[in-house]
């Protein structure tokens, strides 16, 4: 998902709201109930000169979120992201 005019902190908040909304979902298949969850990797275009670098960064953070136990949001720490913009 691309979020124009959005700070990294705002993207993190949105991803967390989406994650929490998805986390409460479930569906049934016959007698079995399935829970749903989602992981998100976030990155900021200002930290990258090319869109393919941005996608690779977001994908890397998504992989880290899944490695960390799934159902989480991962991205560059706020202070690091701010330092990279300066």
Bridge partners of 32, per DSSP, are: 29
Burial (0-12, 13-18, 19+ Cβ within 10 Å), 64: middle
Share of the chain above pLDDT 70, in %: 87
pTM of the model: 0.79
Total domains in the chain come to 1
CATH of the domain at 77: 3.30.70.270
Domain that holds residue 69: 8-85
Residue partners of 75: CB distance under 8 A and separation at least 6: 8, 11, 12, 41, 42, 43, 58, 61, 81
Q: Low-confidence residues of the chain, pLDDT below 50?
A: 80-86
pLDDT digits (tens, 9 = 90+) for 44-61: 887 667 889 989 999 999
Question: How far apart are the C-alpha atoms of 25 and 80, rounded to whole Å?
Answer: 34
């Amino acid at each position: 998902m691309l979020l124009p005019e959005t700070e990294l902190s705002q993207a993190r908040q949105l991803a967390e709201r989406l994650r929490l909304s998805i986390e409460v979902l479930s569906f049934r298949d016959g007698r079995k109930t399935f829970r749903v969850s989602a992981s998100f990797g976030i990155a900021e275009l200002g930290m990258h000169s090319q869109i393919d670098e941005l996608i690779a960064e977001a994908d890397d953070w998504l992989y880290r979120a899944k490695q960390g136990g799934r159902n989480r949001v991962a991205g560059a720490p706020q202070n690091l992201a701010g330092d990279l913009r300066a």
